[in-house]
Structure formats: C-alpha cells, structure tokens
C-alpha cells in the first residue's frame, strides 16, 4: 500500500478533479493495486538503455514559418459554454 488518503488528495488536486472522501477511500486501494502491479518493471535491467522517444526513426519535420490559419474566431468559440465578443468567459481570477 503506497498511496494514502493524503496522496490521493494531492494527485487529485494536481489533476484538477474533485474527489469526495468516499471516492478517495476507494481510490487509495485501486491506485495502490495498479501501482504495486506495475512495479514488476523493477525486475528489468534497464541500465544503459535509452528511453524510447519515437517509434520509427525519422527526422522531426518542420513547417514553413508562415501564417496558415486564422480569422476563424467564430469557429474557435463556437463550442464554449460561455463567451463574450469572441472571448472565453471564466470566473474572476485576479481580485
């Protein structure tokens, strides 16, 4: 058991997901179960092994540094729950 209630709360805060006390209890057990299970990777000797960063060897592509999109503010905000004059509206952040 490596994940306690305080850890669940800390991760949930980082992930911006509200959890109730009851949910936190269940998550302690579930997350510990999965994290204990993945620890079997410790058996594998990975000294000197590079982490995999891409699946096929290829040069990172670059696009031309030009404007190729834009002037679509209507489309950008079309799905937002709350907007005003092409701005997303959120609760007040600065006092």
Partner 1 sequence: MTDLTKLTLSEARDGLQKKTFTATELTKAHLSAIDAGNAALNAYVLVTGEHALAQAKASDANIASGKARPLEGLPLGNKDLFCTKGIRTTACSKILGDFKPAYESTVGANLWHAGAVMLGKLNNDEFAMGSSNETSAFGTVVNPWRRKGKDGKLAADKLVPGGSSGGSSAAVSGSLCLAATATDTGGSIRQPAALTGTVGIKPTYGRCSRWGIVAFASSLDQAGPITKTVRDAAIMLRHMAGHDAKDTTSVDAPVPDYEAALGKGVKGLRVGVPKEYRVVGMSPEIEKLWEQGIAWLKAAGATIHEISLPHTKYALPAYYIVAPAEASSNLARYDGVRYGLRVPGKDLVETYENTRAAGFGKEVRKRILIGTYVLSAGYYDAYYLKAQKVRTLIKRDFDTAWDKVDVVLTPTTPSPAFALGEKTGDPLAMYLEDIFTVTVNMAGLPGMSVPAGLSSQGTPLGLQLIGKPFDEATLLRAGQAIEDAAGRFTVADAWWAKRPAKAAKT
9 binds partner 1 (CB under 8 A): no
Cα distance between residue 21 and residue 27, in whole Å: 10
Residues in contact with partner 1, shown as a per-residue x/- string from 75 to 94 under the rule CB under 8 A: xx-xxxxx-----x-xxxx-
In sequence order, what are the beta bridge partners of 88?
Answer: 83
Q: Report the residue from 18, 22, 65, 70 that binds partner 1 according to the rule CB under 8 A.
A: 18
Whether residue 74 contacts residue 87, with contact meaning beta carbons closer than 8 Å, is answered with: no
φ/ψ region of 48 (left if φ > 0, alpha if ψ in -120 to 50, else beta) reads left
Which residues contact partner 1 (rule: CB under 8 A)?
A: 3, 7-8, 11-12, 14-19, 27, 30-31, 33-35, 37-44, 46, 49-56, 58, 60-61, 63, 72, 75-76, 78-82, 88, 90-93
């Amino acid at each position: 058991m490596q994940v306690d209630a305080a850890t669940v709360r800390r991760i949930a805060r980082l992930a911006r997901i509200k959890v109730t006390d009851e949910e936190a209890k269940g998550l302690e057990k579930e997350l510990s179960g999965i994290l204990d299970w993945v620890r079997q990777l410790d058996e594998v000797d990975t000294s000197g092994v590079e982490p995999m960063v891409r699946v096929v060897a290829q040069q990172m592509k670059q696009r031309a540094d030009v404007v190729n999109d834009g002037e679509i503010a209507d489309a950008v905000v079309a799905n937002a729950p709350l907007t005003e004059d092409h701005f997303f509206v959120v609760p007040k952040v600065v006092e």
